[in-house]
Structure 1
Amino acid sequence: MSFYRFARNLVWYLLKPFYRMEVFGAENIPKDGPVIICSNHISNIDPPVVGGAATRDVHFLAKEELFKGKFFRFFFTKLNAVPIKRGMKDRQALRQVLTLLKEGKVIGLFPEGTRSKTGKLGEGLSGIGFFALRSDAIVVPCVIIGPYKVGRKLKIVFGQSVDMTSLREVKASAKEATEKIMAEIGNLQEKHTQILD
């Protein structure tokens, strides 16, 4: 078992009973081939939660500050994290993500770029649309619903893939692609939001 899978399983099974986590739609993640999972962002522990709920290993973008020092660089690299400068303007990171997608890997992204303090979905960064348009990846929307409070239910929902074919054919802008992805995340959030016991 790889270090990533060991850490993912450990964190998932430690967190699951505290937040009563339930996963829906995991079958919407293709079993192979490049995939981009796009999720809303409400907590610092969203990456291990989404990663633990996913059926495949996920590579997440992480702010480059986390990689300072040899130990942390080694640690986060082993966790499949890709360092990126704030604002999605890091060309080296963009190329690395596209390379991973070409290799058929799964990338996990939080399009808002920062956590939502209210739980409401914010505006997405155009870099998300860039990845979707410049690759053949299947885009899977994801939402995390419910507060991170001990004893309260937390839902992780993976929706059906977002059809990017038409946008790729007309060479749409990254902003247009991002808006479509964010709309799907919003629809998924609205559909599944309910009072959680």
Structure 2
Amino acid sequence: MTLYDFIKRVFRFQFRLMGWKMQGVENMPSEGPVILALNQVNFWDPIVAASSLSRQVFFMVKEELFSIPFLGRILLKLGAFPVKQGQGDINAIRQSLGVLKEGRVLGLFPEGARSKTGASPKGLPGIVLLMDKSKASVVPIKVHGTRHLLTKGWGKLGVVVGKPLTAEMLKAPVGVENRREWIANQVMQAMSELSEAK
């Protein structure tokens, strides 16, 4: 058993005790390259999302976390890799494409940072670049109930996995000036339209 699988089992056990609800997990493709587009209110969101899926998710994580000695090593062992926020990070893009070209699942946050309010801002066009280069589909996913998870999250924790969005489904209409921005916002809209798991 890998470290990733062991940690996932531990968290799945804990989340089940908390009344964890999952919806739409059957929408996740069982093979092939996938870009997981995830909302993020706090650090629990990617953990809850990854624990919900049978496939391993390779997350793009802000580079500052890798400078924390113990945490940085754990993140690397779990398949995460650093990205410099607020700028075009060529190394992060190359690593992302490498994950997708191997037919794996790339986890990222299209808005580029955590939302303090939970609202969905505009998506960053980088996700479209990855789609274009890899031909991967995008699976929107919504995690809810992670605010104050350990104290107030009991019975509120849930995950909703949306249906895959393919390049064909995300073709920009004729006349759209900024294609990448339009597609990125369509992904964000698909994420925001996911209702909470019941």
TM-score band by shorter chain is: 0.7 to 0.9
SS at match of 1:120: coil
Residue 183 of structure 2 aligns with an amino acid whose one-letter code is A
Alpha-carbon separation, structure 2, partners of 1:151 and 1:71: 28
Alignment correspondent of 1:167? 171
Contact 1:144-1:156 within 8 A present in 2 as well: yes
Deviations 1:9-53 (A, max 9, x none): 2123223323x2111111111111101111111121111100001
Distance 1:69 1:185, change over 3 A: closer
Equivalent position SS for 1:167: coil
CA distance in 2: counterparts of 1:174 and 1:95, whole angstroms = 19
What is the CA distance between 1:98 and its match in structure 2?
0.5
**C-alpha deviations, 1:41-79, integer Å up to 9, x for none?**
112111110000112000011111121266544321111
| Gap regions ≥5 residues in structure 1 | none
Report the equivalent of 2:5.
Answer: 5
1:39–1:88 Cα change, 3 Å: farther
Equivalent residues in 2 for 1:134-149 (5 A)? 134-146=133-145, 147=147, 148=149, 149=152
Counterpart in the other structure of 1:123: 122
Report deviation, 1:88: 5.5
Aligned length: 191
Q: Displacement, 1:155? A: 1.8
**Mapping for residues 1-197 of structure 1, pairs under 5 Å:** 1-18=1-18, 20-68=19-67, 71-87=70-86, 89-146=88-145, 147=147, 148=149, 149-165=152-168, 167=171, 173-188=179-194, 192-193=195-196
Same amino acid, percent of matched pairs: 37
Contact 1:31 1:56 in 2 (8 A): yes
Would the aligned equivalents of 1:39 and 1:141 in 2 still touch at CA under 8 Å? yes
**RMSD (Å) for aligned C-alpha atoms:** 2.5
